[in-house]
Every structure is written in structure tokens, then in C-alpha cells.
Amino acid sequence: MINVTLKDGSKMELENGSRVIDAAMKISEGLARASVAGEVNGIAVELTTTLTDGDTLNILTFNSDEGKKIFRHTTSHILAQAVKRLYPEAKLAIGPAIDDGFYYDFDSEVPFTAETLGKIEEEMKKIVKEKLPLERFTLPRAEAIKLMQEKDEPYKVQLIEELPDGEEISFYRQGEFVDLCAGLHLDTTGKVKAFKLTQVAGAYWKGSEKNKMLQRIYGTSFPDKKELAAHLEQLEEARKRDHNKLGRELELFTTSELIGQGLPIILPKGAKIMQILQRFVEDEEYKRGWLQTKTPYMAKSDLYKVSGHWDHYQDGMFIMGDEATDKEVFALRPMTCPFQYQAYLNRARSYRDLPLRYNETSTLFRNESSGEMHGLIRVRQFTISEGHLMCTPEQLEDEFRGCLELAIYMLKTLGLYEDVSYRFSQWDPSDREKYIGTEEQWDEAQGTMQKILDHLEIPYKVGVGEAAFYGPKLDIQIKNVFGKEDTLITIQVDQMLAEKFGMVYTDKDGQKKNPYIIHRTSIGCYERTMALLIEKYAGAFPAWLAPTQVIVMPIIDKQADYCAEVCKKLRDNGFRVELDDRNEKIGYRIREAQLEKVPYMLVAGDKEMENGHINVRCRKDGESKDMSVDEFIAMLKEEVETKRI
């Protein structure tokens, strides 16, 4: 017999050779049915893993993050098996679990359509009913390659060939289907009770445009149909809020194939929102002691060589010229830091000049791959609320706190604060080529930043390998309506670039020292922020942010002049207002204004005109209220000035 310790600290006696699933069964049959995997001594393992005396055990269900990942990873294998049954010539690429679902990439001559997905789902249901056990096995490299060559799976062969020497090569078998995979997986296909294939998209092999375009099938899965139905309903709501759809319908932005992917055209309404945001940010930063700079959009390669971008970020830059043939090579800037450092170097500095806070509304250019482009969230040209702060070591924590407080103020004002999470992005010491600096410098920088974050009680997760090439950072993360996570705001601690650029200050003791640098954004990328706001409010922006705050409508032509006077008075008070005096029925015009999600509609007939009043219809509740023009102005002014959301 063996003894294992359960999550609650109690002991369980089991027969020698018992597996995780046996322990789950001994606790209860219901837990065994719901079990997805186990956690033995803090490490996730499969249900078929054999336990040993003294192990600590936690049974994982679908309700855990790891459980969802394993459940959906197995569903991706069921998808691949179904595709191979129906389309044997299809070649397998990769099929991981992702947030809220899974996908699998295929190289197939048969185009996957909505009709095709229906057939694949039916075959998947058969595989689930067959309750096939998933069995893991390993092979030496030569045998693994031979197996995949025999199965005519060239992408799997390539993946095996790229594995480091000594790496264990594992496979999973379910019935006739075998796939190269590191795991983890369910013990049987029978546990996947509810699933849905949601869409097909193109995806380059390994994400590179140089490789072949594959077909990616997305899906999601749950242990029961009720959870799936609720998720699909949520997904339908997400589609309605998708900024890529809604932003075009509301004429906030558009794109043109003649201009290129990832280069959106911000239309007048969208440009107005960005202007409001930019003025708000710049005014708020000025109040907090930030000094505005305006630097060039491009620079010689020499600048990027000093900063390290040339060696560590060149693939992400737009470069003009060839160093082999051209006397000078230029590149569009992917970030502003090396430019603002030149402002610091404009004259000698002493400790009395610090902290020195430079901000800039920066237009940046990054050569993102076409597969990464998505509406306004990931683009190749964008505008960012960027800033760089030079300070002494003693000032670092207070200045970092100030940057964080500014970011939180922005998020709360926009109504996004409840939607974000924090990631402490650190370097990956096993990938030295990705970073500059010594191990000691990184340990010092990350240690300093960790002390600050812990002291400020920031609830962060650690992201190894997510640091900038020159320093660790706090990433403020946010998800779009489909659950895809992106970075919205960053605050970085940099102890390295000041030395590279020869940035010094004279300290109290007369010694020359390098300042600490904080890289930060306050609202992030304006395009990405606008995309998230479109989705957050489903296009119905708060009044202070709405491109059109008020539409004034006469019931008939007789009141048109009066409505024009109301518009002028509103404009004179700083409001964004439009007059809709078209020869259309008033009901039709009101419905159109509602579809455009205008916060307030003011209607005037004979009665209102005689009394100097207007009939106010609010977008929120649809009710109408008779008010004087001055009363409405006072009400709207208070709403806008307090930035009510």
C-alpha cells in the first residue's frame, strides 16, 4: 500500500501501482467523471500517471485553467483525427489549446467551408462515442522521423528534426490516429461531451509569410452542452461588439488594399475620438510634470546601433537603404526612446535636473507579420502616448509609482480599469542573444523592479521571456471581446541604455553617474485603445468621448431655423453637435441617430419653439424630457467635465 496527501491535507491509502484516476474514483465517482488531470507534487500530470508513496495529489477538473487547456488540447486531436478520416490526404501541422478554445492547422487541397465543418463535427461526435483511450509513447529520433515519413506528415518530420538533441520525442495514439505531441491529454475521447467548430482562417506555417499558407480550424469545447451554449451566446455578443465590424459600420475607420494591411484610415468620427483622447492625455501629463518633445519619424542606422535596436529589433523595422551599397541607411522609428535621449544629451545635467520627464505623442512603425494584423489592435503604423523619465536611484520607486498612478487614472477614466491584469515581464536567461547586458545587470534590474511591485502590492503574474531586450517591464494586459490578450500599457525599468548613450548627471558628491530610465505609456497605443473602447461600449461611447454628442432635429421645416440657433448655442458652449433637418419623418431620423449611437437627440416642434425649450431623448433609457436649452447645456456640461461613463 502507499499513502498520498490530498489538497485538503488529508491522507489517502491506495494500492501500490494506483493511478491518479484511481485516486479520483476512490474519492467519488462524480469526481472521477469530472477529472481532467492531476497535480502531483505541484506538477500537472495525466490521469493515467502512477502514484508513489508520499506524493501530494490534487485532482484537476475543467474548472481549472490547466484543466481547460488539457481538455481542449485533446479536442484538437479529436478534430485532427476526424479530418484525417474524412480527408486522408490532408497534412497535419500543429494544434494547441488557446484561450477559450483550440485550433489545428492543416495543409489540404480541399477548402474547408461551413459545410465542411459540419461534416467534421459529425465525425468528431463518432470519435467521442468510441471512447478511445489516449496512449502516450516515445521513440528515438530516427524512429520518430521514420514513423512520420511513413504517415506522409512532412510538417511533423520538420518539427522532429528541429528538436534539440536529447529531447524526448513523444506521441499520442487514439484508435488508428497517432500524433506527435508533448501532451498533456485526457485519458479518453469520451469525456469531450460538447464542442463546436467556430471558423476557418488562413495561417502561415510557423507564422512566417515565407512559408506556405495553411487552413486553420478554430473551435471550442466544454464538458456539457449548457456551458457550450452559454459560451456560444457570449461569442455571438462578442461578434456584435467586434471593433473590426462595428468600427466600420459606425464609420470610425476603414482600410484600403491600395494602402496596405495594418495601415488603417481613421475616418472623421474616429479621428475626433483620437483627438479628444490625445488632448486629454497631453493635458493630464502636463499637470504631472511631463515635458512634451517632438522628434523625427526616422533616423540613421547609427542611432539604432547604439540603442541595440539594430541588432535586436531589425526584423521589426522598416529600413530604407542597404548598408552594403548606400552611404547612409535610414529606418522608420519603432519607438521613441533613443530620440528622446538626444534631448537629454542637449546639455549637461545635474541631480537638480532630475527627475526629467519627457513625453511625446509618437507615431511609430513596426513591421508586423501579416498574420498578426487585426483591425486597430495590431497595426504597422500607430500612435502612442510615449514617455521616458530619467531619475536617480533614490527617486526610482516614487517615479515608478507616479507612472503607474497615471496609467490607472487613465484606465479608470476610460472605464477599462476592471478589465486589466498585470504581468511582470522578465528576461529568459536561456535565450541570451535576445538581450543586452550581463546576468548581474538583469538580476539587479529585475530585483529592483520586483521590490517596487511588491511594495506597491501589484497583483502580477510573471512572464519569462517577455521583457524588452534592455530591461524588465510591467505590462498592463487586456483582452478583446474574443478573449485574445494584448498589452495595453507598459512601464519599464532600464539600467542599461543610459550608459550606452553616454547619458550622465553630476550627483551631489560631484561624481558623474548614469540615470535610471523609466520607459512608459500612459494610455498605450491610441488605435488599440480606441478598438477596446468600441468593444467595451459597443460603439455607444460616453458623452465626453462621443464624436457627435448631440443631434438636433426639427419636426418639420417650420422649426429648422430655431433648431439651427440651438445648434449654434451648443457649439458656442463647446459641444459637438449636428443638425438633422432632412425632409424625412422624425421617427426615421430618431432611429438613425439611435443606430449611430449618439448620446442625445434634441427634438423641437411648435411647442418647444414657442417656449424656448427642446425635447431631450437620451440614448441610455430612450425616454424623452422637456427642458430649456440652458438646463440641457448645464446637464451635459457636468456630464462631460466629470467624464462620466
To the question of pTM greater than 0.85 for the whole model, the response is: no
The pLDDT of residue 221 is above 80? yes
Spatial separation of the C-alpha atoms in residues 472 and 466, rounded to whole Å: 8
pLDDT-derived band at 421 (thresholds 50, 70, 90) equals: very high
641: how many CB neighbours lie within 10 A of its CB? 10
The pLDDT of residue 370 is above 80? no
How far are the Cα atoms of 344, 345, 352, 360, 373 from residue 349, in angstroms, in the given order? 8, 8, 8, 21, 42
Query: By CB neighbour count within 10 A (0-12 exposed, 13-18 middle, 19+ buried), where does 325 fall?
Result: exposed
Can you tell me which residue has the cell 437620451? Answer: 618
The pLDDT of residue 470 is above 90? no
pLDDT computed for residue 445 by the predictor: 86
The pLDDT of residue 165 is above 90? no
pLDDT computed for residue 196 by the predictor: 96
Spatial separation of the C-alpha atoms in residues 551 and 107, rounded to whole Å: 53
Spatial separation of the C-alpha atoms in residues 469 and 136, rounded to whole Å: 38
pLDDT computed for residue 475 by the predictor: 95
| Chain mean pLDDT for the chain | 94
pLDDT-derived band at 585 (thresholds 50, 70, 90) equals: very high
β-strand partners of 3? 13
pLDDT-derived band at 385 (thresholds 50, 70, 90) equals: very high
Q: Which three cell numbers stand for residue 606?
A: 411648435
DSSP letter for 19, please.
B
Inter-residue contact 296 to 337 (CB < 8 Å): no
pLDDT computed for residue 387 by the predictor: 96
Inter-residue contact 312 to 362 (CB < 8 Å): no
Half-sphere exposure of 567 (CA within 13 A, CB side): 18
Q: Which three cell numbers stand for residue 120?
A: 467534421
pLDDT computed for residue 456 by the predictor: 87
Pairing of strands 420-426, 170-174: unpaired
DSSP calls for 444-509? HHHHHHHHHHHHTT--EEEEET-SBTTB-EEEEEEE-TTS-EEEEEEEEEESSHHHHTT--EE-TT
Can you tell me which residue has the cell 475521447? Answer: 189
Q: DSSP 3-state assignment of 241?
A: helix
Spatial separation of the C-alpha atoms in residues 291 and 343, rounded to whole Å: 11
Inter-residue contact 55 to 22 (CB < 8 Å): no
- Per-residue pLDDT averaged across 447-473, rounded? 91
Q: DSSP 3-state assignment of 358?
A: strand
Q: For residue range 594-638, what is the model confidence (pLDDT) as tens digits?
A: 999 999 999 999 999 999 999 999 987 777 899 999 999 999 999
Q: For residue range 483-520, what is the model confidence (pLDDT) as tens digits?
A: 888 999 999 999 889 999 999 999 999 999 999 999 99
Q: For residue range 2-15, what is the model confidence (pLDDT) as tens digits?
A: 999 998 899 999 99
Inter-residue contact 219 to 101 (CB < 8 Å): yes
Q: For residue range 44-97, what is the model confidence (pLDDT) as tens digits?
A: 999 999 999 999 999 999 999 999 999 999 999 999 999 999 999 999 999 999
pLDDT computed for residue 166 by the predictor: 85
How far are the Cα atoms of 180, 329, 363, 405 from residue 302, in angstroms, in the given order? 46, 8, 20, 36
**Vertex 507 angle, CA 503 and 512, to 5°:** 45
21-29 contacts, C-beta under 8 A, 24 or more apart = 21/47, 21/48, 21/187, 23/51, 23/57, 23/59, 24/59, 27/59
The residue count for the chain: 645
Which residue did the predictor score with more confidence, 121 or 167? 121
